[in-house]
């Protein structure tokens, strides 16, 4: 493990930068007197009714509840737009950089004033289409301003949005539409990414043929590329036509702090993706506070988070956190390597980006291209860098620090999850000297702890499973439609504690080092996938009898997908069939789920009760056949030998 420590460079601090002593004082107050602390923090939000009840939480099953600011009333879109109009009306809210750098007329600056008009017009249109408080709306959109507008328009009228990443397949989209019973879908004719077109509208058409999706009454279609797409009347309507002529103001819905704001589907160890539900008051308080503190936000910042709005990072740190803070937030439609691998830095120079927040997988991929594409651009405007989504290896951290940041920008390595709504563990750039590879210290109100397999709390420097002992306002409140699953998934493994699913080490300075998932979730390029989802896609193929999927180390993606597949008796195992199965998984879930390795398995290692021993498969996939451990409890130990012999991921 790297021993380097990087304090913030001299001259980094601004007038409001959080110092070490301020962090320590506020952190102590936040855990010793959470009610007083969060009542104070709630003042950053414009409430229609200020909450008098701050926190009401129990993680025990018998009286389980998580409630924050429960008698408060507010509207998130008002907090992200209206309240800024007087002082910041002309400030750029959304800075849109299109996929193609040579189509400058496609890039746009959307001021807070303009954003207000766009959101109100769409909100009025949605109301006119019969969408109201509590109704679900699915968004399947490219990274264009309309995606943020649609989220905020839902928030304005109290509709609950469910954003589905544009890279997901029609089947994955259909499952998510059906699960939450969406009344309306907003999509685009096509998305543009790295010069390639993604047929979003056609995917929606496919999805809406699947069972369970006839809840959808209306599909609004944004024109992005202008490609001809079939419109099915009266279901399909052009977005532009529907918003045209709508009034530029729209009465915001009064929302209770605990009313739902959005659902976002994420993968877990078992079963179908879960609809993670976030509510209104706690979420926006937490997203805006973390965004301001962790990124040391300043008035003139041009802030760029490269995440897609289809993931939680896009929700909290492209849209809600920055806009609640009246920041300028850049939305990038493209990819890091188009038209060349200097694109990120070209965009930084073009828009004078000051804060840049991306994923380790992108950093590793760009590092492989060498320093020249970075050095070609000045990057002088940058003052702070961030990472999120997966552990960052110290080599990539150092490259990011030295080459991208010219050793003048602190790096905040932010650990959090879809379920947590906002950042839970991260260095504050001035207060916490950074150790490459460590996410540093807990944010205000966050009480991380490490436990061993039996749930015993570990003291001091230790290695264990990461749990959280108390709630924070941004915590998810339930799994949409299945509250018991919420309790079973997160609060049963270690009763009375929230279990993150991550392994972690705490060092002698109290810094946390996340080591990765300890459950059956794999993290591919920062995207979460359940091994069970990939397995069920594989066994849905008519020639497949059985499949087991595990993660394996991957130089760029962090983790890759390694599938063991048993074919039906008599089915020849050919290279053509292998390619067909990889393509099948892409089609069933989406390109991010394509297996990197697919090994034919005449049999899978099982216990005598028929349970697949994944521990053994993981070691085979890691190319560590000498660490298989005890195989004597297997029903047929001979299977392992042949799997080891034929393994694919040799280093
Ligand atoms: C992993 C993304 C190490 C972790 C915001 C977590 C990280 C999962 C980090 C959540 C980090 C996220 N260091 N690991 N800085 N950030 N992770 O729900 O395993 O897409 O449990 O949320 O990503 O992924 P999710």
Among the residues of 368-446, which ranges form H helices? Answer: 372-375, 394-399
Cα–Cα distance, 329 to 339 (Å, whole number): 22
Binding-site annotation, residues for CoA: 193-196, 313, 337, 525, 586
Mutate which of 435, 528, 529 for ligand 1 pocket (most atoms within 8 A of beta carbon): 528
Q: Scanning the structure block, which residue is given the tokens 């539409």?
A: 177
The residue contributing the CA closest to ligand 1 atom 14 is 390
Atom of ligand 1 nearest to the CA of 501: 21
The residue contributing the CA closest to ligand 1 atom 11 is 415
Strands (E), 144-293: 160-163, 184-188, 191-193, 196-198, 218-222, 236-238, 255-256, 260-266, 274-279
Cα–Cα distance, 549 to 534 (Å, whole number): 7
Q: Is the pLDDT of residue 492 over 60?
A: yes
Cα–Cα distance, 350 to 352 (Å, whole number): 6
Atom of ligand 1 nearest to the CA of 418: 18
Q: Which residue has the higher pLDDT, 85 or 607?
A: 85
CA of 564 to the centre of ligand 1 (A): 26
CA of 416 to the centre of ligand 1 (A): 5
Helix, strand or coil, per DSSP, at residue 379: coil
Mutate which of 167, 312, 390 for ligand 1 pocket (most atoms within 8 A of beta carbon): 390
Atom of ligand 1 nearest to the CA of 528: 20
- Tell me how far the alpha carbon of residue 423 is from its chain's centroid: 11
Confidence (pLDDT) at 327: 98
Confidence (pLDDT) at 206: 98
Q: How buried is residue 453: exposed, middle or buried, by Cβ count under 10 Å (0-12/13-18/19+)? A: exposed
Answer yes or no: is the C-beta of 359 below 6 A from any ligand 1 atom: no
Binding-site annotation, residues: 193-196, 313, 337, 389-391, 413-418, 502, 517, 525, 528, 539, 541, 544, 586
Atom of ligand 1 nearest to the CA of 391: 3
Answer yes or no: is the C-beta of 420 below 6 A from any ligand 1 atom: no
Confidence (pLDDT) at 271: 82
Q: Is the pLDDT of residue 284 over 90?
A: yes
Confidence (pLDDT) at 524: 95
Tally Cβ neighbours within 10 Å of residue 57: 14
Closest CA to 531 of 494, 576, 484, 564: 564
Beta bridge partners of 612: 606
Confidence (pLDDT) at 398: 97
pTM of the shown model: 0.96
Q: How buried is residue 335: exposed, middle or buried, by Cβ count under 10 Å (0-12/13-18/19+)? A: middle
Confidence (pLDDT) at 649: 85
Interval 340-382: pLDDT, tens: 999 999 999 999 999 999 999 999 999 999 999 999 999 999 9
Binding-site annotation, residues for Mg(2+): 539, 541, 544
Answer yes or no: is the C-beta of 501 below 6 A from any ligand 1 atom: yes
Q: Which residues lie closer than 8 Å to 28 by C-beta, 6 or more apart?
A: none
Q: Is the pLDDT of residue 94 over 60?
A: yes
Strands (E), 328-421: 328-332, 355-358, 384-388, 411-414
Interval 190-220: pLDDT, tens: 999 999 999 999 999 999 999 999 999 999 9
CA of 418 to the centre of ligand 1 (A): 8
Q: Is the pLDDT of residue 2 over 60?
A: no
Confidence (pLDDT) at 28: 98
The residue contributing the CA closest to ligand 1 atom 24 is 417
Average pLDDT, the chain: 96
CA of 632 to the centre of ligand 1 (A): 35
Beta bridge partners of 97: 332
Answer yes or no: is the C-beta of 533 below 6 A from any ligand 1 atom: no
How far is the CA of 261 from the CAs of 53, 254, 323, 482, in angstroms? 20, 12, 15, 17
Packing angle, helices 20-32 and 34-41, rounded to 10? 120
- Tell me how far the alpha carbon of residue 594 is from its chain's centroid: 19
Q: What is the mean pLDDT of residues 395-399?
A: 97
Confidence of residue 270 (pLDDT cuts 50, 70, 90): confident
Answer yes or no: is the C-beta of 416 below 6 A from any ligand 1 atom: yes
Answer yes or no: is the C-beta of 649 below 6 A from any ligand 1 atom: no
CA of 356 to the centre of ligand 1 (A): 18
Confidence (pLDDT) at 509: 97
Cα–Cα distance, 263 to 273 (Å, whole number): 12
CA of 527 to the centre of ligand 1 (A): 9
Atom of ligand 1 nearest to the CA of 311: 20
Confidence of residue 651 (pLDDT cuts 50, 70, 90): confident
Atom of ligand 1 nearest to the CA of 419: 18
Answer yes or no: is the C-beta of 517 below 6 A from any ligand 1 atom: yes
Residues 436 and 2: beta-carbon distance below 8 Å: yes
Closest CA to 30 of 315, 443, 439, 393: 443
Q: Which residues lie closer than 8 Å to 27 by C-beta, 6 or more apart?
A: 441, 442, 444
Beta bridge partners of 329: 94, 303
Mutate which of 314, 416, 432, 489 for ligand 1 pocket (most atoms within 8 A of beta carbon): 416
Cα–Cα distance, 421 to 404 (Å, whole number): 28
Among the residues of 426-562, which ranges form H helices? Answer: 483-491, 531-539
Answer yes or no: is the C-beta of 523 below 6 A from any ligand 1 atom: yes
Cα–Cα distance, 530 to 549 (Å, whole number): 9
Q: Is the pLDDT of residue 263 over 90?
A: yes
Answer yes or no: is the C-beta of 528 below 6 A from any ligand 1 atom: yes
Q: What is the mean pLDDT of residues 590-594?
A: 95
Answer yes or no: is the C-beta of 422 below 6 A from any ligand 1 atom: no
As a whole number of Å, the end-to-end CA separation of the chain is 21
Q: Is the pLDDT of residue 81 over 60?
A: yes
Interval 148-176: pLDDT, tens: 999 999 999 999 999 999 999 999 999 99
The residue contributing the CA closest to ligand 1 atom 15 is 415
CA of 389 to the centre of ligand 1 (A): 4
Answer yes or no: is the C-beta of 564 below 6 A from any ligand 1 atom: no
Q: What is the mean pLDDT of residues 33-42?
A: 98
CA of 626 to the centre of ligand 1 (A): 30
The residue contributing the CA closest to ligand 1 atom 22 is 417
Mutate which of 321, 415, 501, 558 for ligand 1 pocket (most atoms within 8 A of beta carbon): 415
The residue contributing the CA closest to ligand 1 atom 25 is 417
Cα–Cα distance, 608 to 606 (Å, whole number): 6
């Amino acid at each position: 493990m790297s021993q380097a420590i990087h304090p913030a460079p001299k001259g980094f601090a601004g007038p409001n930068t959080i110092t070490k002593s301020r962090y320590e004082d506020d952190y102590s107050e936040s855990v010793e007197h959470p009610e007083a602390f969060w009542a104070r923090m709630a003042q950053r939000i414009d409430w229609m009714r200020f909450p008098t009840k701050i926190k009401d939480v129990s993680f025990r099953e018998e009286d389980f509840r998580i409630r924050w600011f429960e008698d408060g009333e507010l509207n998130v879109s008002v907090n992200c737009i209206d309240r800024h109009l007087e002082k910041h009306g002309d400030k750029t809210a959304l800075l849109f950089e299109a996929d193609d750098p040579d189509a400058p007329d496609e890039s746009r600056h959307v001021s807070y004033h303009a954003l207000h008009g766009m959101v109100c017009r769409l909100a009025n249109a949605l109301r006119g289409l019969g969408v109201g408080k509590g109704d679900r709306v699915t968004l399947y959109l490219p990274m264009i301003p309309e995606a943020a507008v649609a989220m905020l328009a839902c928030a304005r009228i109290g509709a609950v949005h469910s954003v589905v990443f544009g890279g997901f397949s029609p089947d994955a989209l259909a499952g998510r539409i059906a699960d939450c019973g969406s009344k309306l879908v907003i999509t685009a004719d096509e998305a543009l990414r790295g010069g390639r077109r993604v047929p979003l509208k056609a995917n929606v058409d496919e999805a809406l043929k699947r069972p369970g999706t006839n809840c959808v009454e209306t599909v609004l279609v944004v024109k992005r590329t202008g490609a001809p797409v079939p419109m099915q009347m009266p279901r399909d309507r052009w977005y532009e036509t529907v918003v045209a002529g709508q009034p530029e103001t729209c009465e915001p819905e009064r929302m209770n702090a605990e009313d739902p704001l959005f659902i976002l589907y994420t993968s877990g160890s078992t079963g179908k993706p879960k609809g993670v539900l976030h509510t209104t008051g706690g979420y926006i308080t937490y997203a805006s506070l973390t965004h301001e503190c962790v990124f040391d936000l300043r008035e003139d910042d041009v802030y760029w988070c490269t995440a897609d709005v289809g993931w939680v990072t896009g929700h909290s740190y492209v849209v809600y956190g920055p806009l609640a803070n009246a920041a300028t937030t850049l939305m990038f439609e493209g990819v890091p390597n188009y038209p060349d691998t200097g694109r990120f830095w070209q965009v930084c120079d073009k828009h004078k980006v000051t804060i840049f927040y991306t994923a380790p997988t992108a950093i590793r991929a760009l590092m492989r291209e060498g320093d020249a594409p970075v050095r070609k651009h000045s990057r002088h405007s940058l003052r702070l860098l961030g990472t999120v989504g997966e552990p960052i290896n110290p080599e990539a951290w150092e490259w990011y620090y030295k080459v991208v940041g010219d050793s003048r920008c602190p790096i905040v390595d932010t650990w959090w999850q879809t379920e947590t709504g906002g950042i839970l563990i991260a260095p504050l750039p001035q207060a916490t000297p950074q150790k490459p590879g460590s996410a540093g210290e807990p944010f205000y109100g966050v009480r991380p702890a490490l436990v061993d397999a039996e749930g015993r709390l570990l003291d001091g420097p230790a290695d264990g499973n990461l749990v959280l002992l108390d709630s924070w306002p941004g915590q998810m409140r339930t799994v949409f439609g299945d509250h018991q699953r919420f309790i079973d998934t997160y609060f049963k493994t270690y009763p009375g504690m929230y279990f993150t699913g991550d392994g972690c080490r705490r060092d002698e300075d109290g810094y946390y080092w996340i080591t990765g998932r300890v459950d059956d979730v794999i993290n591919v390029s920062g995207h979460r996938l359940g091994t069970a989802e990939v397995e069920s896609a594989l066994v849905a193929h008519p020639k497949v009898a059985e499949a087991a999927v595990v993660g394996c180390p991957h130089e760029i993606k962090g983790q890759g997908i390694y599938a063991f597949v048993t074919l039906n008796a008599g089915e020849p195992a050919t290279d053509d069939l292998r390619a067909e199965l990889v393509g099948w998984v892409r089609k069933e879930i989406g390109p991010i789920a394509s297996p990197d390795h697919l090994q034919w398995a005449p049999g899978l290692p099982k216990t005598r009760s028929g349970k697949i021993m994944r521990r053994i498969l993981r070691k085979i996939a890691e190319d560590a056949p000498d660490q298989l451990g005890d195989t004597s409890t297997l029903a047929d130990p001979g299977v392992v030998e042949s799997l080891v012999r034929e393994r694919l991921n040799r280093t």
